[in-house]
Amino acid sequence: MENVKVFSIIIAVFSVLSVESVGLKDLKTCNFGAVYNFGDSNSDTGGGSAAFWPAGKPCGETFFGRPVGRGCDGRLIIDFIAEHLGLPHLSPYLDSIGTSFRYGANFAIGGSTIRPQNESMSLNGVSPFSLDIQIVQFDQFKDRTGHFYNRSYPRHRRNLPRPEDFSKALYIFDIGQNDIAAGLRKKNDSAFRASVPDIVDQLAKAVQNLYEHGARTFWVHNAGPIGCLPVSLHYHDIKPEELDEQGCLKAQNAYSMEFNRQLKARVIKLREELPHAALTYVDIYAAKYELIGNAKKQGFVEAANICCGFHEDEIQVYCGHKQNINGTEIYAGSCENPSDFISWDGVHYTEAANRWVAHRIINGSFSDPPLPIKHACHIP
Q: Considering the domain boundaries, does residue 324 fall inside one?
A: no
Confirm whether 345 is a catalytic residue.
yes
Low-confidence ranges of the chain (pLDDT < 70): 1-25, 235
Q: By CB neighbour count within 10 A (0-12 exposed, 13-18 middle, 19+ buried), where does 319 fall?
A: buried
Q: Identify the pLDDT of residue 17.
A: 47
Q: Identify the pLDDT of residue 18.
A: 46
Q: Considering the domain boundaries, does residue 136 fall inside one?
A: yes
Q: Edge to edge, what strands does the sheet with 278-282 contain?
A: 104-106, 35-39, 170-174, 217-221, 278-282, 367-368
Q: Identify the pLDDT of residue 23.
A: 55
47-62: b (≥16 Cβ within 10 Å) or e: bbbbbbeebeebbbbb
Q: Considering the domain boundaries, does residue 326 fall inside one?
A: no
Q: Considering the domain boundaries, does residue 27 fall inside one?
A: no
Domain count, the chain: 1
Confirm whether 348 is a catalytic residue.
yes
**Which of 89, 348, 359, 375 is flagged as catalytic?**
348
The answer to whether the bond into 370 is cis (omega within 30° of 0) is: no
Q: What is the CATH number of the domain that holds 106?
A: 3.40.50
Q: Considering the domain boundaries, does residue 132 fall inside one?
A: yes
Q: Considering the domain boundaries, does residue 94 fall inside one?
A: yes
**Which of 79, 343, 345, 375 is flagged as catalytic?**
345
> Do residues 71 and 61 touch, judged by C-beta distance below 8 A?
no
Q: Identify the pLDDT of residue 15.
A: 43
**Which of 15, 18, 40, 41 is flagged as catalytic?**
41
Confirm whether 313 is a catalytic residue.
no
Domain of 127 in residue numbering reads as 35-300+348-375
Q: Considering the domain boundaries, does residue 339 fall inside one?
A: no
> Do residues 297 and 291 touch, judged by C-beta distance below 8 A?
no
Q: Is the dihedral of CA 181, 186, 190, 196 positive or negative?
A: negative
Q: Considering the domain boundaries, does residue 24 fall inside one?
A: no
To the question of pTM greater than 0.75 for the whole model, the response is yes
The size of the chain, in residues, is 380
